Amino acid sequence: MTTTQKVRAAVQLGPGKLEFRSFDRPRTGADDALVRIEANGLCGSDLETFHGRVPMRGGYPVIPGHEPLGVVEEIGEKAAARWGVQVGDRIAVEVLVPCRACARCLSGGYMSCRNRTVTHGYTPVSREPSLFGGLAEYLYVHPDAVVHKVSSALPAEVAVMYNPLGAAVRWTAHLGGVQLGDTVLILGAGQRGILAAAAAKAAGAARVIVTGLARDTHKLGLAREFGADHTLVVDGADAQNTVDLVTELTDGELADVTLEMTPMAAQPLDDALRATRHGGRIVVAGLKGGRPIPLDSDQVVNKALTLVGAYGVDSRGYAEAIRLLESGRFPFARLHTHTFELGETERALATLAGEIAGEEAVHVAVTPGGGG
């Protein structure tokens, strides 16, 4: 398609530096597609990369946004047949674009693909056609991208939770291996922590315990709505000791599976080691910004613990999360607190970070068309 239409996008120039630019609308062919963005979700990693605490892997300038949801506006015949979608379908687009040809891709390990050249939200605008981030009016969908069809019946602010819920499902059920009757400890009450409570219950957990900070009181309340049986505050005047409380709640049995999901904090990893039972599993998902974190390896050895690193979400996690969203089993709309127009991206990030007085944010989305 030939057109002179311009596409507006947020462009990050460096840590804390954002501007808005117009790009040429990409031409599409038989093998690719163009998606009109309905919403792009924001999460803690967006805050870390925006402020430079975690490096922008591909460099600058870049269009951020790794949780894009949109409607197919153009698609080639080959792409439509390969992805099973048509013009007008709503799709979620995975973060990673694998090569689909290397040994790792062909053996099912596409998340470890060393040949990928596109990562949504992290690919510099110098790579044509530039529109590889969700904080834009349109997203170019590379022929090798992985996409998932999502019901148009869901509100966009709920449908766009496919990414954090996908992480919660993968980290809890697939990497954590939660089974019927398990006790699950979730360290951190952010979006993924709250949704992990739902994922744990969906996997059959009998007891779910979620920790958070004093400023997270509203999030801990939501965690209970999403399946948490117990919540505890780990700082401030009313601080509770995580290990002591888990020991008490389980009559000394401790947690079968622990998810460490706190950003930039060292203590929760030690809590995870001490609050997980002999032979239990710990899924480590909280980024620490490259800082060295002490690890009591004697705990790992003497308790025969399994530690698993949680890198992103795979296709199975996304697919199961989308089915769970479409089921309506949990009050997902309750998690969404703020919607901002594309031009308000910096305010959206500040709101998610808790920097706007009087705003208690949990799930925040940016849309090209309107805010709320």
pLDDT digits (tens, 9 = 90+) for 35-94: 999 999 999 999 999 999 888 888 999 999 999 999 999 999 999 999 999 999 999 999
Listed residue (95, 66, 68) closest to 160, CA to CA: 68
- 339 part of a folded domain: yes
When pLDDT is averaged across residues 191-211 and rounded to a whole number, the result is 98
Residue 125, domain extent: 6-161+335-367
HEC sequence for 231-290: EEECCCCCCCCHHHHHHHHCCCCCEEEEEECCCCCCHHHHHHHHHEEEEEEEEECCCCCC
Confidence class of residue 357 from pLDDT cuts 50, 70 and 90? very high
**pLDDT tens per residue across span 5-16:** 999 999 999 999
Are the C-beta atoms of residues 250 and 183 closer than 8 Å to each other? yes
User: Is the pLDDT score of 252 beyond 70?
Assistant: yes
Same domain as 51, residue 75:
yes
- 318 part of a folded domain: no
CB atoms within 10 A of CB 158: 25
- 321 part of a folded domain: no
Q: How many domains does the chain have?
A: 2
- 325 part of a folded domain: no
Same domain as 267, residue 179:
yes
Q: What distance in Å separates the CA atoms of residue 126 and residue 13, rounded to the nearest whole number?
A: 12
Same domain as 140, residue 237:
no
Are the C-beta atoms of residues 60 and 117 closer than 8 Å to each other? no
Quote the pLDDT of residue 369. 67
Quote the pLDDT of residue 4. 55
**pLDDT tens per residue across span 292-344:** 899 999 999 999 999 999 999 999 999 999 999 999 999 999 999 999 999 99
Q: What distance in Å separates the CA atoms of residue 26 and residue 6, rounded to the nearest whole number?
A: 9
Same domain as 280, residue 211:
yes
Same domain as 225, residue 350:
no
User: Is the pLDDT score of 370 beyond 80?
Assistant: no
- 330 part of a folded domain: no
Instruction: Say what percent of the chain tops pLDDT 70.
Output: 98
Mapping DSSP to helix (H, G, I), strand (E, B) and coil, where does residue 5 land? coil
Same domain as 296, residue 344:
no
Residue 326 CA neighbour count, 13 Å, CB half: 12
Same domain as 286, residue 240:
yes
Same domain as 225, residue 198:
yes
Q: What are the tokens at 119? A: 């990562």
Same domain as 240, residue 107:
no
Instruction: Say what percent of the chain tops pLDDT 90.
Output: 91
Same domain as 112, residue 78:
yes
- 329 part of a folded domain: no
User: Is the pLDDT score of 2 beyond 80?
Assistant: no
Q: What distance in Å separates the CA atoms of residue 105 and residue 115, rounded to the nearest whole number?
A: 10
Quote the pLDDT of residue 195. 98
CATH number of the domain encompassing residue 226: 3.90.180.10
Same domain as 291, residue 203:
yes
Under DSSP, the state recorded for 190 is S
When pLDDT is averaged across residues 129-136 and rounded to a whole number, the result is 98
- 96 part of a folded domain: yes
User: Is the pLDDT score of 1 beyond 90?
Assistant: no
Residue 370 makes CB contacts below 8 A (sequence gap 6+) with 339, 341
Q: What distance in Å separates the CA atoms of residue 40 and residue 339, rounded to the nearest whole number?
A: 10
Under DSSP, the state recorded for 328 is T
Same domain as 339, residue 281:
no
At residue 103, φ and ψ (nearest 5 deg) are: -60, -40
- 326 part of a folded domain: no
- Count the helix, strand and coil residues of the chain and give each as a percent rounded to the nearest 5: 30, 25, 45
